[in-house]
Each structure stands twice: as C-alpha cells, then as structure tokens.
Structure 1
Amino acid sequence: MEITELTALKQQYKPERIQLLFIADGRPVNNKYFYLKNSNMYKAVKAAFTQVFGEFNNDEEFLQFFKEMGCYFENLSAAPIKNLPPPEQKAERTKGVQPLAERIAEHQPRLVIISLKVIEKYAREAISLSGVSTIENVVVTPFPVKSLTNVNNCINGIVAALRSIDWGI
C-alpha cells in the first residue's frame, strides 16, 4: 500500500480530539499496519481495549470505538525503518523527533503510549520539545512480537494505561 493510501486510511480514523496517542516506530512495512487491522500491534491494542471496555462485534466496530474514545497512532519516523541497519534506524528516529513534537503539540493528548522500548528516548524528547502540559501519563510497552511474553507485557501495559485515566464513560 502506498504512503498516500496509508495516510488517507489513517486520516479516516483521526478523532477530533486526541485523548490517547500511541507512538510507534517507523512507517509500516509489508502491508502490516494498525489501521489495516492486520498487524501484531492492532491485535494487542484490540485485546487490551476488550479487557477494559468489553467485547467488540467486529474490527470496524473496534476502530470506530477507538476513534470515538480519542485514540490515534503516530509514527516516530516517516520512513519505514524496520529493515534498515541500526545506524540508519537511529538517524531516521533522530530526524523524526521534531516533526513528532509538532504533532504532539497539535494533538495535546492526555495519555501517551510508546510502543517500543528502543524509541522511548526519542519519543520522550519529542514530548518534551512539544511543550504540552496536558499529558497525565506516559507508558512504555514492548512491541508485541518475538515472544508471548512481549505480547502479554504489551497488552498488560496498555490495559494499565487505559485504566490510569478517567474516560468519563
């Protein structure tokens, strides 16, 4: 899927007011993407939301609920960096800090979930540069791949984060 198609898909699910901002690493590769409902991250987030808010009839109902709750995904890097050598990954992540800071400033979220421990320092720098004072909690979870432990720790981290703020519902 082309970047313009991914951007259009992502915009379709952008809430008017962002309460919870998920920060992932780079742009998706291999047509695995949260908003395509086919990635490990999608499955983990949906599992966490199901634990906190109850069952969803289907994926579209879940994504609509996700949007209505003010939840949204941003990527640290605009580039797909998964398959780059580590020095190039670091350079792309560094390049992504300022643009992410500007998007955080625009979004003014209450809760931030950083979904990959290796990007924590970059995401926290972006949060700091944004000057946002609305953030009540920042949670870092492992990315839900490679082991059942990572998947469960990701889900449990999201569940704890969701329960850390009052959703008013």
Structure 2
Amino acid sequence: MTEKKKKVIIMFIAEAPGSTNNHFYLKNTNLFRAMRAAFEQAFGKFSSADDFLDFFNKSGSVLDHLYPLGKETSVNLTPYAARQLADRMRLIQPKHVIILMKRIAPDVKKAAIDAGASPSEILTTAYPAGSERNRQVFINDISTWLRHMIDNL
C-alpha cells in the first residue's frame, strides 16, 4: 500500500526555526501562540495546543523556513537558502504561500515563483514579535486569509 501524499493548502514561511528548546511544533513560541490565535479567530476556540496543532496539520497547513537549520548571518548564503526553499516548494506544491516576515519577502517570493507558485497566491504579513502591533497585524491578516483559503472545515 502506498501512502497518500498530503495536500498542502498553505505553506507558511518564516525566517528560521527557534532553538532546540523553542520551536513552533513544540508549541512554545510566540509564532505558535499567534498562529493559534489567528486560527481561533477564523474557526473558533481549540480545546488545547495539541488540538490546534492537529487542526493546523489536517487543514493542509505546514510551516517551513528560509533558513531551516537556523538563522544565517551571511548574506552570501541567502541565494542558496532560497534555492533550497524553492526545491522544497516544488515537492510540496502548496496552493498558497504566506510569508511571515516582510524582511525575507523578496527572497521567499522569488523562491516561490521559481517553484511555480502564482504571484497572486503569495502573501506577506508581519512577524508576530517585536511589538503588539505586529502581533495584531499578523493575527488579523492570517485569520482573514484563512477564511478564503481553507474550505470545508
């Protein structure tokens, strides 16, 4: 029996994962809390962090990073990181790409377009850290977009 490939509706792209102790999929980062708030604003409350993460996965959402092995300080590595991201996008073929930081948007947009994404399906929002305003912009943008991107939930 072959395993059915998961259909990815939304590929969220952030700059870099947290440390080994702090990571979105460990449910203990600002990004996780803001993403949960955005999904709750769009779809209603979740009973637990695990319940939200299960919904996130089943909805066809994934989180990836421009720098999946950690934030790089050398600008010279950004083109390489963007090519690697484009390769992952080609494999996943997300319907929508949401960039979670304005500063990385040009590199991620190029990667997404190189991977075949339609420019109209690539959106960018603020990263939900640094200020309450960024957090609110993130939550409002994501919750609004989710209502239009995820069907039948």
TM-score, normalised on structure 1? 0.81
Q: Any conservation in 2 of the 1:21–1:73 contact (CA below 8 Å)?
A: yes
- Written as runs of structure 1 = structure 2, the 5 A alignment for 1:72-111 is 72-81=62-71, 84=73, 88=74, 90-111=75-96
Across the two proteins, how many residue pairs are aligned to each other?
A: 149
Provide the rounded CA distance (Å) in 2 between the counterparts of 1:76 and 1:37.
Answer: 20
1:29-59 CA-partner distances (Å, limit 9, x unpaired): 3622110101111011000000111111101
Paired residue type of 2:43: F
Q: 1:136 to 1:60 in 2, by over 3 A?
A: farther
Q: Secondary structure at the match of 1:74?
A: strand
Q: Which runs of at least 4 in structure 1 moved beyond 4 Å after TM superposition?
A: none
Provide the rounded CA distance (Å) in 1 between the counterparts of 2:37 and 2:109.
Answer: 26
Match of residue 127 from structure 2:
143
Q: 1:66 to 1:136 in 2, by over 3 A?
A: farther
Q: Any conservation in 1 of the 2:100–2:126 contact (CA below 8 Å)?
A: yes
Match of residue 121 from structure 1:
106
Deviation at 1:166, TM superposition (A): 4.8
Match of residue 47 from structure 1:
37
Q: Any conservation in 2 of the 1:81–1:92 contact (CA below 8 Å)?
A: no
Paired residue type of 2:77: E
Q: Any conservation in 2 of the 1:77–1:92 contact (CA below 8 Å)?
A: no
Kindly, what percent of the aligned residue pairs are identical? 31
1:84-141 CA-partner distances (Å, limit 9, x unpaired): 4xxx1x33332211111111111111121100100000110101111245x8622211
Q: Any conservation in 2 of the 1:113–1:161 contact (CA below 8 Å)?
A: no
Cα RMSD for the two superposed structures: 1.9
Deviation at 1:157, TM superposition (A): 1.2
Provide the rounded CA distance (Å) in 1 between the counterparts of 2:33 and 2:53.
Answer: 12
